[in-house]
Structure 1
């Protein structure tokens, strides 16, 4: 086998390299066009083929941009080869207090445990504020692993890492959290099947709502998407639903189940949960009450007699069984 053939066999396509680095293919093309960070050899003249030396340059580029270095400066340093990292301006360094100083890899997110490789790619894209890469990787995770696994094993670990980074860095990285959350919400809505009008004589829908004062809706959006794929009708009310509105909705809809999300202990009101569980409707002699299912860490140790599934998969099984029995 010739040297040329051997090098072709070890070269990577743009798509394969993008997956390896955790960036979007469009990002690689943009870096090639803007900064000359591209393959030394173009194969047949049209298709990019990335050799090991090309990959090493791009790995350096990703490492530097994740550390907060501008793309132009990172590209220049990556092409120059091994050497000291670009130095931040002295004025910027002086602005950072002793409490918030971090190691050079300041852009890395603190992923915990044995996480999927997709988490690391998604985290790097989020830190770079690379919206196309974030959107593409979320869509690929849902397609490759299914909604439940994508939520529990890719989205949640990365969201938690962003939250930890934000909490430990003096409110920095809030823009990363906002961008990632928005794209996760978008991916979940795209994974939600359109509602199909059901038989009005069948079981009522599942009502999904955050407790009064609770703003964390992403877990309910994941549950809404999962239930849609099981053909379980839902009514999604979202964040911070007032107690009076929840009671009115239960009376009007006659839901087969009510899911109440509380991220914080301060929003987890057992009194309201029990009130909804005791709400009755229907004709006399055949009155019904909803099954109330609690979700979120705010309910920890505070849910006697009411189911509290630990994860999305368990919640879907519980609610599907309730709906089928209704």
Structure 2
């Protein structure tokens, strides 16, 4: 769990278009691919004549690769600020031209907004999600995230859909003079909402059973999304958790350990400047319980900030799946030391 980028243990798959073949893509598959709603596709068909070339016997819409190419051009232009009607006209003309059209002079509206994100070899869901986020289309962002979690489960959705899109936005924001900051804020908010929606309510804790897993960002650390993903994954496994969130002061960490008696404490550090091994060792040495049967938590270090630091006696799982496996197993294995 050292990194939150797109190689967080996720296996990359070639883009999957869904039901393709000679009959073409369904409207739902095209909507997910482009990051728009099916209603939007039908509206574009009615208003601008951008619709599927084929309908099957049941009159279902089937989109050919050429149809999808026109839609992709339309989405790119509207994301750049071109009015939809103008974007539709240009997209249809480009598709009908025998050779690529000459570069079009961008309008002032196009200059004011960010262009498409460079995502590389990722799932088509990432591309659709990125397009919707650039348009600040919150309802579609919400819908695409919900579909990803329902279809793949929270772990795969986080690693293969949410993380690559978040990092594409972050990289572009860093290199474009803050032009994408509103996109990053909107996307992060809805990713957090999607993760919390699939997290079960915290289970009560008491008695001789192992304590909950405590999740906290180290002091000065504000990146909570990876911990929220871990929290959702543990919830799905039935492991009780206590989420303390961002920038937890050192004294609050040790006070919470004494009060909760957790089976494990996950400390997240995104940056090396915030990853303090003395703090992690102090948490690992914090005890609770009656004299003669004192216990200590297993400390798990998460995030790229801990890379290269010798956390002796502390675990640093390389993937989200490995972190879930360790914490699920260790939940029932806390003992006196």
Partner of residue 147 from structure 1, selected from 154, 164, 176:
154
Shift of 1:57: 3.0
SS in 1 for 2:295: coil
Give unmatched runs, 5+ long, in structure 2.
1-21
Q: 1:88 aligns with which of 81, 86, 106?
A: 106
TM-score w.r.t. structure 2 length? 0.81
1:236 offset after TM fit, Å?
A: 0.5
Structure 1 residues 298 and 132, CA, compared in 2 at 3 Å: closer, same or farther?
Answer: same
> Is 2:295 aligned against 1:288?
yes
Indicate yes or no: 2:184 matched with 1:184: no
Q: What are the within-5 Å matches in structure 2 for residues 209-248 of structure 1?
A: 209-248=216-255
1:27 equivalent among 17, 20, 40: 40
Q: 1:30 to 1:235 in 2, by over 3 A?
A: farther
- Mapped pair 1:162 → 2:180: no
Compared CA separation, residues 300 and 12, structure 1 to 2 (3 A): closer
- 1:315 and 2:323 are equivalent in the alignment: yes
Judging changes above 3 Å, is the alpha-carbon distance between structure 1 residues 200 and 71 closer, same or farther for their aligned structure 2 residues?
Answer: farther
Seen in structure 2, the aligned counterparts of structure 1 residues 109 and 59 have a Cα distance that, compared at 3 Å, is closer
Q: Are 2:286 and 1:265 equivalent residues in the alignment? A: no
- 2:72 paired residue number: 59
Deviations 1:107-160 (A, max 9, x none): 232324x42232222222222222222222222222222221111122111111
Aligned pair in 2 of structure 1 residues 117, 46: CA closer, same or farther (>3 Å)?
closer
1:300 equivalent to 2:307? Answer: yes
For 1:207, the equivalent position in structure 2 comes to 214
Between the two proteins, the alignment pairs up a number of residues equal to 307
**Structure 1 residues 202, 172: CA separation in 2 closer, same or farther (over 3 Å shift)?**
same
* 8 Å CA contact 2:230, 2:324 repeated in 1: yes
Secondary structure at 2:331 match in 1: helix
Match of 1:252 in 2: 259
Provide the C-alpha distance between the structure 1 equivalents of 2:264 and 2:240, rounded to a whole number of angstroms: 11
Aligned-residue offset at 1:72: 3.5
Match of residue 179, structure 2, among 155, 172, 176: 172
Which 10-residue stretch deviates more, 30-39 or 250-259? 30-39
2:332 corresponds in structure 1 to 324
1:196 matched to 2:203? The reply is yes
Q: Closer, same or farther in 2 for the Cα pair 1:222/1:166, shift >3 Å?
A: same
**Superimposed CA distance per residue, residues 244-278 of structure 1 (whole angstroms, 9 cap, x where no aligned partner):** 21121111111111111011111111111111110
Q: Residues 63-89 of structure 1: CA distance to partner in whole angstroms, max 9, x if unpaired?
A: 322444333331232244444454224
Aligned partner (choices 68, 91, 111) of residue 119 of structure 2: 111
What is the distance in 2 between the residues matched to 1:13 and 1:235?
43
Normalising by the residue count of structure 1, what TM-score does the alignment of the two structures yield? 0.84
Which structure ranks higher in relative contact order (CA pairs < 8 Å, sequence separation ≥ 6)? Answer: 2
Please identify which structure carries the higher helix content: 1
SS class of match (1:107): coil
